[in-house]
Structure 1
Amino acid sequence: MGVVLKINEIKDQLTNSEQKIANCILDNSHKVYNMSIHELADWCSTSSSSIVRFCRKMGFDGFKEFKIELAKDVADSEKSKDIVYEDVSVDDSIQAVINKISSGNIKSIENTLELLDSYEVEKAINALDKANNVYLYGIGASGLVAMDFQYKLMRINRNAFMYLDSHTQLSTSVNIQKDDVAVAISHSGKTLEVFKAIDMANMKGATTISITKYGDNPVSNVSDIKLYVGGIEQNLRVGAIASRIAQLTVVDILFVGLARKNFKVVSDYLKGTKEIVEDFKIEK
Structure 2
Amino acid sequence: MKRPLDRPQSIGPHIRMLLPTLTPLETSVVETALGQPGFSEGTALRDLAQAAGVSEPMVVKVAKKLGFNGFREFRTALVLYNALPGSDLHRELAPEDTSSEITRKVFDTSIQAVQETLAILDMEAFDRAVGLIHGARQRDLYGIGGSAQIARDVAHKLLRIGVRASVFDDAHMMLMSAALLGDGDVAIAFSHSGTTTAVIEPLQLARRRGVRTIVITNYAGSPLAEAADVVLCSTAQGSPLLGENAAARIAQLVICDALFAAIAQRDLPQAERNLNATMGAVSARRQVK
Taking structure 1 as the reference length, the TM-score comes to 0.90
Of 29, 38, 55, the residue aligned with 1:47 is 55
Q: Map 1:174-213 to 2 at 5 A.
A: 174-213=179-218
Letter of the aligned partner of 2:31 in structure 1?
A: N
1:80 alignment partner in structure 2: 86
Structure 1 equivalent of residue 73 of structure 2: 65
Amino acid at match of 1:48: E
| Alignment of 1:32 onto 2:40 | yes
Structure 1 residues 275 and 58: CA distance shift in structure 2, 3 A? same
Q: Against the structure 1 CA distance between its residues 184 and 273, is the aligned structure 2 distance closer, same or farther, given a 3 Å change threshold?
A: same
For residues 256 and 16 of structure 1, what CA distance do their matches in structure 2 show? 40
Q: CA offsets per residue over residues 23-45 of structure 1, 9 Å max, x none?
A: 22101375232224344444545
The residue type paired with residue 72 of structure 1 is: L
Q: Distance in 2 between matches of 1:250 and 1:280?
A: 30
**What one-letter code is carried by the residue in structure 1 that aligns with 2:246?**
I
User: 116, 121, 131: which is aligned to 1:116?
Assistant: 121
Retained in 1: the 8 A contact 2:161–2:274?
A: yes
Question: Equivalent residue for 1:283?
Answer: 288
The Cα shift of 1:106 comes to: 1.1
Distance 2:282 2:92 in 1: 40
The structure 2 residue matched to 1:11, chosen from 13, 16, 19, is 19
Q: State the alpha-carbon separation in 1 of the partners of residues 283 and 37 from structure 2.
A: 54
- Which digits, 9 at most, give the CA deviation of each residue in 1:106-134, with x for residues without a partner? 12212322332101111111111210110
CA distance in 2 between partners of 1:220 and 1:212 (Å): 8
Counterpart in the other structure of 2:7? none
Q: Distance in 1 between matches of 2:171 and 2:233?
A: 23
CA 207–113 in structure 1, closer or farther in 2 if over 3 Å, else same: same
1:40-78 superposed Cα distances (whole Å, 9 cap, x missing partner): 4445454332222121111111223223322321221xx
User: Aligned partners of 1:31, 1:237: CA distance in 2, in Å?
Assistant: 25
CA contact (8 A) 2:194 2:219 kept: no
Is the CA contact (8 Å cut-off) linking 1:33 and 1:70 kept in structure 2?
A: no
Provide the alpha-carbon RMSD of the alignment.
2.2
Counterpart pick for 1:235 among 228, 240, 265: 240
Distance 1:19 1:219 in 2: 20
Q: Do the aligned residues in 1 keep the contact of 2:92 with 2:239 (CA within 8 Å)?
A: yes
Offset, 1:91? 5.6
Task: Report the CA distance between 1:18 and its aligned residue.
Answer: 1.7
CA distance in 2, matches of 1:29, 1:154: 50
CA deviation map 1:164-197 (0-9, x unaligned): 3332222111111211110000111111111111
Query: Residue type of the partner of 1:80?
Result: G
Q: Residue 31 of structure 1 aligns to a residue in which SS?
A: coil
Number of aligned residue pairs: give it. Answer: 281
AA aligned opposite 1:101: V
Q: Cα 1:260–1:70, aligned 2, differ >3 Å: closer, same or farther?
A: same
Pairwise CA distance, 1:266: 0.9
Q: Percent identity?
A: 28
- How far, CA to CA, are the matches of 2:175 and 2:90 in structure 1? 37
Within 5 A, what are the aligned runs for 1:237-276? 238-276=243-281
CA distance in 1, matches of 2:37, 2:118: 22
CA contact (8 A) 2:13 2:236 kept: no
Change (3 A) 1:116 1:195: same
CA contact (8 A) 2:16 2:235 kept: no
Pair 125,29 (structure 1): closer, same or farther in 2 beyond 3 Å: farther
Task: Return the alpha-carbon distance in structure 2 between the equivalents of residues 236 and 213 of structure 1.
Answer: 18
1:139–1:250 CA distance, 2 compared to 1 (3 A): same
Q: Quick one: distance in 2 between partners of 1:38 and 1:141? A: 43
